[in-house]
Amino acid sequence: MTPNSFISPQPAYVPGEPVERHVADEELVWTEDEQQQIAAFRAQYPTHDGAVMKGLWLAQDKFGWLPPEVIQFVAETLEIPYAKVYGVATFYTQYFKEQKGQFVLDVCTCFSCQVCGGYDILHYLEDQLGITKGETTDGGLFTIQEAECLGACGSAPMLQVTNGPYVHNLTTEKVDALLADLRAGNMPGFQSVTLPQDEDELGGNRRSDTDAVTTYQTPPVSETLH
């Protein structure tokens, strides 16, 4: 089972003892630039509540994840009750309510990816990193998660790195290369997926500013798995 996003992690709490904190008070400040962004977000919606998703994203980008004190910080910034912000943060899977690895590998195993070897990729990654889905490697570098359809079914199997770039048409070789790149600290760049009709009519990628992959050049990962 995937870690259940609906069950909210509670800070370890022992009566009479202070609650475990992850971010110190001094760190809970927005920079000038971030304050401007928040002001811009607020202006986009008729109520303060509207800016809560963007506020949480900004906080997650800043602190890496959303421990209760960060959620509280967002709530105070937007002047809305903690419980409301907490409710939103726990509703969505992409907000991290627990600490994850530096690189979170969201492997799609849904629907088209399932029948195109998504589980092969997931298990291969688990073997390579010595952890199972939902876990983080010892040094805190990688977390593996099983993801639901990420909207790139034509280039299945695929994965997403830390709520960011997609890596399409995975093979075991591509996974090896990706892990090596990430270990060296290089995030994959954005890649277009060419449209098959463009191959015929335009000779490939239609965007001159991005690299592209062609969906159907990759052989199936495993002939046997379905």
Using CB under 6 A, list all residues that contact ligand FES: 108, 110-113, 149-153, 156, 158
**Chain residues 57-76 in contact with another protein, contact rule CB under 8 A:** 57
Could you say which of 164, 177, 187, 211 contacts another protein (CB under 8 A)? 164
Q: For 104, what's the count of Cα atoms within 13 Å in the CB-facing half-sphere?
A: 18
Please report whether residue 163 would count as binding another protein according to CB under 8 A: yes
Separation CA 198–CA 186 (nearest Å): 30
Edge to edge, what strands does the sheet with 142-147 contain?
142-147, 103-108, 159-161, 166-167
Smallest separation (angstroms) from another protein to the CB of 209: 8
Longest dimension (CA), the chain: 71
Sign of CA dihedral 77, 78, 83, 85: negative
Stretch that binds another protein, among 7-15, 22-30, 128-136, 206-214 (CB under 8 A): 206-214
For residue 90, the surrounding DSSP H or E stretch is: helix 82-91
Q: Sketch the per residue contact string, 106 through 135, with another protein: x for CB under 8 A, - otherwise.
A: ---xxxx-xxx-------------------
Among 131, 141, 149, 179, binds another protein (CB under 8 A): 149
| Among the residue ranges 91-99, 120-128, 135-143, 174-182, the one whose residues contact another protein (CB under 8 A) | 91-99
CA-wise closest residue to 183 among 101, 109, 119: 101
Q: Out of 126, 135, 181, 198, point to the residue binding another protein (CB under 8 A).
A: 198
Q: How far apart are CB 189 and ligand FES at their closest, in Å? A: 19
* 100: number of Cβ within 10 Å: 16
Q: Select the residue interacting with another protein from 8, 153, 172, 179 (CB under 8 A).
A: 153
Both tokens assigned to 159: 């994965």
* 160 is a contact residue toward another protein (CB under 8 A): yes
Q: Which is nearer to another protein, 10 or 224 (CB)?
A: 224
Comparing CA positions, the residue from 17, 16, 13, 55 lying closest to residue 37 is 55
Work out the burial of residue 22: count CB atoms within 10 Å of its CB; fewer than 13 is exposed, 13-18 middle, 19 or more buried.
middle
Q: How far apart are CA 43 and CA 35, in angstroms?
A: 12
- Complex with another protein: residue 96 or 124, whichever CB lies closer: 96
Residues 6+ apart with CB under 8 A from 76: none
Question: Under the rule (CB under 8 A), what is the footprint of another protein?
Answer: 2, 6, 44-54, 56-57, 80, 84, 87-88, 91-95, 109-112, 114-116, 148-156, 160, 163-166, 190, 192-198, 201-202, 206-209, 215-216, 220, 223-224, 226
